[in-house]
Amino acid sequence: MNRRKRGAGLPVLSENDHFSFPDPVTADPSGIVAVGGNLSPGMLLSAYRQGIFPWFSRGEPILWWSPDPRFVVFPDEVRVSASMRKLLRKEPFSYSLDRRFGEVIEACAAARRPDQSGTWITRDMIRAYEALHRLGYAHSVEVYRDGELCGGLYGISLGGVFFGESMFSAAPNASKAAFILFGAALRERGFGLIDSQVETRHVAGLGGRNIPRREFLRLLGNLLSRETLKGNWEELFPGFPRAGGINT
């Protein structure tokens, strides 16, 4: 990771304030756009609206990224393997939206990842995204087996874009099931893009692909013109996952 000298910091913003980050095309070769600042709701929402996201480890300054290429999933391209269709037909899980956001993000922070010695979901990050959840911008999908939380994902919703942050599985295929059914629900509600930021094998298997940053920013600009579904998504997505399910 290429670190730059930390600057004087960036201002604290309220939810409705807007901060202009440097143009993402000025990012260094690793994708870093800026260093420092804070994780206030206004700064986070400003970053996402400009195609930028925070990603840093404990002990580092906040690093703001806009990588090229960008790894995304188009909701109408979510890939459902034959084995996952078979599993979904058996209905081994139950699901909810926005009921246990705090537990989902904590589980994502604790999940062991290949090739990672620690987590980038620091305590400051957890507090920041919990604040966005209370404001109605951050959302979670919960997966249960026999009434116990066994998987899920969380992210940010703005306009017609869902910015996926992380997922976890404490049971085989739980996060895959969540992603597939949630992707179908997003498609039903007219979302045009799921941002997965950087390539992972897990999301690639679900239909993720790289696109040029300039194409991502163009799509983002168009999709942000749509109304943001702000609030509790259990109320805004009644019947999930039945209402937005897939043909299994």
Two tokens at 88? 């979904």
Closest CA to 143 of 198, 88, 89: 88
Look at the block and give the residue holding tokens 């910015």: 163
Looking from the CA of 209 toward its CB, the CA atoms found within 13 Å total 10
Look at the block and give the residue holding tokens 């930021």: 197
User: What pTM was estimated for this model as a whole?
Assistant: 0.92
Look at the block and give the residue holding tokens 């260094």: 28
Residues with Cβ within 8 Å of residue 180, at least 6 apart in sequence: 78, 80, 84, 88, 206, 246
pLDDT score, position 184: 96
Residues of the chain with pLDDT under 50: 1-8, 116-118, 243-244
Question: What is the radius of gyration, based on Cα positions, of the chain?
Answer: 17
The CA distance from 35 to 9, in Å, is: 8
pLDDT score, position 7: 36
Which ranges of 112-205 would DSSP assign to H, the alpha helix?
Answer: 123-135, 174-188, 201-204
220 within 8 A of 161, measured Cβ to Cβ = yes
Which domains, and CATH codes, for the chain? 1-67 (3.30.70.3550), 71-236 (3.40.630.70)
Looking from the CA of 123 toward its CB, the CA atoms found within 13 Å total 1
